[in-house]
Structure 1
Amino acid sequence: MSRAFPLAGLLRLRQLQQDRAAGELAAANVRMRETHEARAEAYNALETSQTLSDAVDAATMNAIAAARASSRSMLADLNALGTRHTAEVEAARAEFSSARARSVGLEKLEGKFVEAEAAEDLRAEQTILDELAGSAWHRRQKEAH
């Protein structure tokens, strides 16, 4: 009869940690992608507003200049946010790699344990079969004499 893997609880904990780290990495990637998209949209909006031909008076020109300044400020903020999100992705990736490494070692140990238990079960079964065959042979020998 096979025994349970003695480190099964620790393995499950490591797998949960790995799953959590994978979730955090996925969330960090989503945040970074959203920031890149927002930055691309802001660049697009700024590019389409580059014409001063719509400015018919000083007030309109001042409004266009203010909108551009605001857009540049927003782009600077988005670039800073993008840098922060990139750092978060790298940290989450490192944490996931670390959690995965801790799980892999235990998974390999579990695999070896399962193989050893299966081999032991087969040995025990073979021993029983050998004993049964030997007993039957001895019975037949006694009956023949």
Structure 2
Amino acid sequence: MARQFPLAGLLRLRQLREDEAAGSLAAANERLRTSRDRVGVVSDALVSTDISPAGSASLYAVAAARAAARSALADLHALESQLTLEQGHAQDRYRAARAATVGLEKLEGRHQDAEATALLGAEQRVLDELASTGWARSAAKDRT
């Protein structure tokens, strides 16, 4: 019977950490995508504004609205920069977790290969023993 991989608990823990890091990376990617979508919407709104003010009050209102939109756009760019940094950190954490898991997965594969080789060797020894016992019986029968 094959032995269980001695580091199975550690491997499972590392896989859980990798899954957690992958989830964090996915969430960071989603926040970054959402932020970029918002930047696109505000940029499009600024570009497509075609208002012809009729008086000075309307002109001041349009100027204030555009200034507010530019300020919001600057805030969104700053947020996007922060989210890009967070996404980079999440990517680094995922890569580190994956690297730690891969090493143990390779060890587990070698362990499974060694166990399979040992099992096949044991089966072969049993078959050899049966064959030699059968041959000895057959030879003894032929002598009598």
Counterpart residue number, 2:63: 65
Counterpart residue number, 2:112: 114
Cα distance in 1 for partners of 2:122, 2:48 equals 79
- State the Cα deviation string for residues 92-120 of structure 1 (Å, max 9, x = none): 00000000000000010001001110100
Counterpart residue number, 2:46: 46
Cα distance in 2 for partners of 1:136, 1:43 equals 87
TM-score when normalising by structure 2: 0.95
Counterpart residue number, 1:98: 96
Cα distance in 1 for partners of 2:36, 2:73 equals 11
Amino acid at match of 1:22: A
TM-score when normalising by structure 1: 0.95
- State the Cα deviation string for residues 7-64 of structure 1 (Å, max 9, x = none): 1111111111111111111111111111111101101101112x45x21112111110
Counterpart residue number, 2:19: 19
Amino acid at match of 1:10: L
What secondary structure is seen at the aligned counterpart in 1 of 2:53? coil
Structure 1 runs (4+) greater than 4 angstroms displaced: none
What secondary structure is seen at the aligned counterpart in 1 of 2:6? coil
Q: How far is the alpha carbon of 1:4 from its aligned partner?
A: 0.9
Counterpart residue number, 1:144: 142
For these two proteins, the number of residue pairs brought into alignment is: 143
**Structure 1 unmatched ranges of 5 or more:** none
